[in-house]
């Protein structure tokens, strides 16, 4: 196998591994929406404002399942029996800022006990609403940037296209959805209605307020110690299937690259172009004989006839200056026909290669003008 094929097979193998890694590797946690972030899509400014108001708010940097360990032990029991069997924990309001709008990891029984989830980043259907809107609320104008709306009768913030913020009761608790993850992001520091509206949502039940920062990749010291793993434990959680598939692809490519399917086939010989070969031979002879003036006169007269026909002057050779005058009358610059003046020269001249190329370039310019 030659070097070119080796490079080709190597590139194919690398591309296959990149694609497998892209689609099969686990996704990293998102940082957009974190109260630690001062970026436009962060929530540091809103968090600082809520702290100044002395509200019971704190960052939650552990898995959400730590909020209901008693419920995890008996997932098959109905909510009423779970409440009777396990001691009740204080009710809380969890604020989750997630552009993917995930609720699959939230225990429904935990919500039905009376806990609340405020989810910024739900993804209802896209409507014909304008992307940027200013909606009226009891605490002032709330600015949003989304076309998504939910059709519901439990709207907390809406317009004629549907609800931007709405609630869904869950037993004694509820989920409050917002169609945008940027409801009170740092970008809205000059829109006080946004900050006040979100504060009202999370504080209306007088429950302690937790902000899910574990979702954004932040861990407290206790969780970090629990997550410390030995090498065998790490390898046990490594996506071995992905590694195995990559190795199999490399082996198959290597085997395929060493085999030939059938007998080697000779390369087809190109059909000769007799006209082009004749032109190349004549050009070489004229160049060696220094017949630049012959080339200029021959090609120049043919190009002048073509130019005259384009200008409606017939196919009989006219004086070059006559053609130039007509050219100028058409509104084109006379300098583009300087090549015609060389045809009017009586004395022969020597044409170096560079001068001949410039002369041909002038012809190309005038030809493109009339195309």
| Residue 9 DSSP symbol | H
Beta 209-212 vs 93-97: how paired, if at all? parallel
Both 66 and 144 in a single domain? yes
What pLDDT digit, counting tens, does each position of 9-66 carry? 666 666 766 666 555 444 444 568 899 999 999 999 999 999 999 999 999 999 998 9
Q: State the Cα–Cα distance between residues 118 and 174, nearest whole angstrom.
A: 9
Query: Is 263 part of any domain?
Result: no
User: What is the reported pLDDT for 368?
Assistant: 77
Query: Is 271 part of any domain?
Result: no
Q: Furthest-apart CA pair in the chain: how many Å?
A: 116
3-state secondary structure of 116: strand
Could you tell me if 191 and 135 are in contact, meaning their C-beta atoms sit under 8 angstroms apart?
A: no
User: What is the reported pLDDT for 75?
Assistant: 45
Both 187 and 332 in a single domain? no
Could you tell me if 250 and 13 are in contact, meaning their C-beta atoms sit under 8 angstroms apart?
A: yes
Could you tell me if 185 and 35 are in contact, meaning their C-beta atoms sit under 8 angstroms apart?
A: no
Q: Which two tokens stand for residue 292?
A: 């630049």
What pLDDT digit, counting tens, does each position of 119-167 carry? 999 999 999 999 999 999 999 999 999 999 999 999 999 999 999 999 9
Both 225 and 300 in a single domain? no
Query: Is 96 part of any domain?
Result: yes
Q: State the Cα–Cα distance between residues 45 and 26, nearest whole angstrom.
A: 31
User: What is the reported pLDDT for 208?
Assistant: 94
Q: Which two tokens stand for residue 324?
A: 């130039």
Count of structural domains within the chain: 3
Query: Is 266 part of any domain?
Result: no
Residue that has been written with the tokens 């039940």 in this structure: 205
**33-54: burial string, b at 16+ Cβ within 10 Å, e else:** bbbebeeebbbebbbebbeeee
Both 222 and 249 in a single domain? no
Query: Is 205 part of any domain?
Result: yes
pTM for the complete prediction? 0.54
Q: State the Cα–Cα distance between residues 160 and 149, nearest whole angstrom.
A: 10
Both 106 and 147 in a single domain? yes
Q: Which two tokens stand for residue 242?
A: 């992905």
Both 76 and 213 in a single domain? yes
Both 60 and 171 in a single domain? yes
Q: Which two tokens stand for residue 107?
A: 């225990």
User: What is the reported pLDDT for 258?
Assistant: 59
Both 165 and 218 in a single domain? yes
Residue that has been written with the tokens 């409050």 in this structure: 176
Both 220 and 297 in a single domain? no
User: What is the reported pLDDT for 224?
Assistant: 57
Both 301 and 253 in a single domain? no
User: What is the reported pLDDT for 29?
Assistant: 43
Query: Is 81 part of any domain?
Result: yes
Q: Which of 120, 204, 134 is nearest to 165 (CA)?
A: 120
Query: Is 297 part of any domain?
Result: yes
Both 227 and 280 in a single domain? no
Of 232, 266, 285, the residue that ends a domain is 232
User: What is the reported pLDDT for 90?
Assistant: 86
Both 181 and 149 in a single domain? yes
Q: Which two tokens stand for residue 1?
A: 């196998």
| Helix 3-24 with 240-258: angle, nearest 10 deg | 160
Q: pLDDT (tens digit, 0 to 9) for every residue of the chain, 371 residues total? A: 555 555 666 666 667 666 665 554 444 445 688 999 999 999 999 999 999 999 999 999 999 989 888 765 544 445 444 444 444 578 999 999 998 888 988 999 999 999 999 999 999 999 999 999 999 999 999 999 999 999 999 999 999 999 999 999 999 999 999 999 999 999 999 999 999 999 999 999 889 999 999 999 888 876 655 555 555 655 555 566 667 777 777 777 666 655 555 667 777 777 777 777 777 777 777 667 666 677 777 777 888 788 878 878 888 877 878 878 888 887 888 777 777 777 766 556 667 777 777 877 887 887 777 66
Domain hosting residue 192, numbered range: 27-232
Q: State the Cα–Cα distance between residues 297 and 348, nearest whole angstrom.
A: 10
Please enumerate in sequence order all residues whose Cβ is within 8 A of that of 132, keeping only pairs 6 or more positions apart, or say none.
143, 144, 145
């Amino acid at each position: 196998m030659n070097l070119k094929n080796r490079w080709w097979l190597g590139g194919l193998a690398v591309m296959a591994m990149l694609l497998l890694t892209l689609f099969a590797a686990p996704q990293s946690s998102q940082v957009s929406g974190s109260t630690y972030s001062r970026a436009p899509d962060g929530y540091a400014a809103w968090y600082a404002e809520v702290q100044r108001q002395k509200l019971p708010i704190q960052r939650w940097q552990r898995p959400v399942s730590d909020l209901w360990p008693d419920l995890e032990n008996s997932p098959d029991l109905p909510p009423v029996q779970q409440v009777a069997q396990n001691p009740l924990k204080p009710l809380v309001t969890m604020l989750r800022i997630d552009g993917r709008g995930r609720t699959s990891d939230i225990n429904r029984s935990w919500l039905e006990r009376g806990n609340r989830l405020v989810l910024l980043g739900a993804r209802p259907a896209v409507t014909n609403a304008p992307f940027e809107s200013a909606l009226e609320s009891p605490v002032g104008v709330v600015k949003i940037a989304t076309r998504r709306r939910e059709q519901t009768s439990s709207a907390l913030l809406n317009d004629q296209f549907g609800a931007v913020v709405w609630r869904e009761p869950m037993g004694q608790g509820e989920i409050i959805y917002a169609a945008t993850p940027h409801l009170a992001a740092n970008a809205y520091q000059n829109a006080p209605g946004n900050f006040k509206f979100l504060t009202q949502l999370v504080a209306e039940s007088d429950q302690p307020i937790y902000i899910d920062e574990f979702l954004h990749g932040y861990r407290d010291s206790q969780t970090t110690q629990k997550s410390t793993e030995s090498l065998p434990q790490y390898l046990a959680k490594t996506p071995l299937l992905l590694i195995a598939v990559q190795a199999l692809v490399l082996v198959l490519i290597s085997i395929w690259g060493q085999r030939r399917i059938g007998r080697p086939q000779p390369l087809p010989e190109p059909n000769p172009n007799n006209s082009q070969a004749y032109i190349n031979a004549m050009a070489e002879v004229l160049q060696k004989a220094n017949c630049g003036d012959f080339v200029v006169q021959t090609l120049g007269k043919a190009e002048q006839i073509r130019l005259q026909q384009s200008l409606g002057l017939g196919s009989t050779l006219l004086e070059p200056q006559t053609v130039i005058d007509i050219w100028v009358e058409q509104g084109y610059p006379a300098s583009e026909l300087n090549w015609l003046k060389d045809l009017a020269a009586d004395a022969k001249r020597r044409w170096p290669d560079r001068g001949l190329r410039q002369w041909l370039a002038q012809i190309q310019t005038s030809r493109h003008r009339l195309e």
